[in-house]
């Protein structure tokens, strides 16, 4: 791919400030990748998706400075290898193939992250990993909406889900997920490029994206959730909880569980009794 990306470096005071800024920017434009370094947040945005007007509005609101540079397609594997470290979430280990397996964990996942989200380092991914383990996808039909690296779909496969569909609309993510599925012997996962949630019936719906995308697709996700199924969502900030809860109620969903980490939420929803299909 001969795509051109914009690299934006933003000085930040601490990790929480970086998380909040990343979340707000990600709601306004498609961020292909992010790297949190000591004192600086680096963002990578496809030049075609960069909304400079909205970006400057947010930057001006927070009264912060930034530097911007144009970068061509490069060896992203090499870039990530410089700083990528293995992650352990419960009994799940997420690592690159140049790391040794952690023999103390049950589920070993190997990823080549490139610029896709979902390496386990972010609070939303680690909470989703823990939620999937808790609600157990074994024998279930699972859909991963906004698959990124494919790590959540891979975990569902390793935990014996009966059928898995992984969806993303970003070319980088589709390429990256396909590569990671191969690395983890997950050839049965159905990978699709789509920009909306597909109608169907699912036992477990995974959506680790952002508030706007989840809200826009909540109605179809609610309709597609099996009676005994669970919808797991993340990419939502703590201060947006009331908004997402009201949206879920509108479509007949009820709160089952809420987890919080570093100002991010992971929420489990189930159908209300009145919404169960006969």
For residues 158 and 137, the answer to whether their CB atoms sit within 8 Å is no
For residue 121, what pLDDT is reported? 64
CA atoms of 58 and 196, how far apart (whole Å): 26
Question: Which CATH number does 4-74 carry?
Answer: 3.30.70.600
Domain ranges of the chain: 4-74, 118-275
CB crowding 21-58: b at 16 or more within 10 Å, else e: bbbbbbbebebbbbbbeeeebebbbbeeebeeeebeee
* Tally: H helices and E strands in the chain: 8, 14
Fold category of 118-275 in CATH: Rossmann fold (3.40.50)
pLDDT at 116 over 50: no
Tokens of 8: 């934006």
Q: Could you tell me the pTM of the whole model?
A: 0.78
| pLDDT of amino acid 89 | 83
pLDDT value of position 237: 87
Q: In residues, how long is the chain?
A: 278
Q: 57-112, pLDDT tens digit by residue? A: 888 888 888 888 887 665 555 555 555 677 888 889 888 877 888 888 899 999 87
Q: Is the pLDDT of residue 120 over 60?
A: no
**CA 205 to CA 91: how far, in whole Å?**
21
pLDDT of residue 74: 58
Q: What is the pLDDT of residues 12-27, one digit of tens each?
A: 876 667 777 777 777 7
* Alpha helix stretches (DSSP H) within 94-163: 123-135, 151-158
What confidence tier does 177 reach under pLDDT thresholds 50, 70, 90? Answer: very high
Q: Give the model confidence (pLDDT) of 130-140 as tens digits.
A: 999 999 999 99
pLDDT at 108: 92
Q: What integer best gives the mean pLDDT of the chain?
A: 85
pLDDT at 31: 77
Tokens of 16: 């929480």
């Amino acid at each position: 791919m001969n795509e051109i990306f914009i690299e934006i470096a933003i000085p930040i005071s601490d990790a929480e400030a970086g998380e909040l800024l990343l979340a707000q920017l990600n709601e306004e434009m498609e961020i292909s990748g992010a790297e949190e370094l000591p004192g600086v947040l680096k963002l990578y945005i496809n030049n075609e998706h960069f909304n400079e007007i909205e970006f400057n509005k947010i930057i001006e609101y927070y009264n912060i400075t930034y530097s911007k540079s144009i970068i061509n397609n490069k060896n992203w594997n090499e870039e990530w290898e410089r700083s990528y470290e293995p992650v352990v979430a419960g009994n799940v280990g997420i690592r690159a193939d140049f790391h040794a397996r952690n023999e103390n964990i049950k589920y070993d996942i190997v990823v080549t992250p490139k610029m896709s989200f979902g390496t386990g380092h972010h609070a939303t991914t680690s909470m989703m990993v823990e939620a999937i383990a808790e609600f157990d996808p074994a024998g279930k039909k699972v859909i991963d909406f906004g698959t990124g690296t494919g790590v959540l779909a891979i975990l569902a496969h390793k935990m014996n889900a009966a059928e898995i569909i992984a969806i993303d609309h970003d070319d980088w993510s589709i390429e990256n997920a396909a590569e990671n599925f191969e690395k983890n012997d997950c050839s049965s996962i159905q990978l699709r490029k789509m920009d909306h949630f597909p109608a169907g019936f699912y036992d477990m719906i995974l959506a680790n994206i952002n508030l706007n995308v989840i809200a826009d697709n909540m109605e179809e996700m609610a309709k597609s959730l099996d009676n005994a199924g669970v919808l797991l969502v993340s990419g939502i900030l703590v201060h947006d909880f009331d908004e997402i809860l009201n949206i879920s109620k509108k479509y007949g969903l009820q709160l089952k569980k809420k987890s919080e980490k570093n100002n991010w939420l992971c929420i489990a929803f189930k159908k209300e009794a009145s919404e169960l299909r006969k």
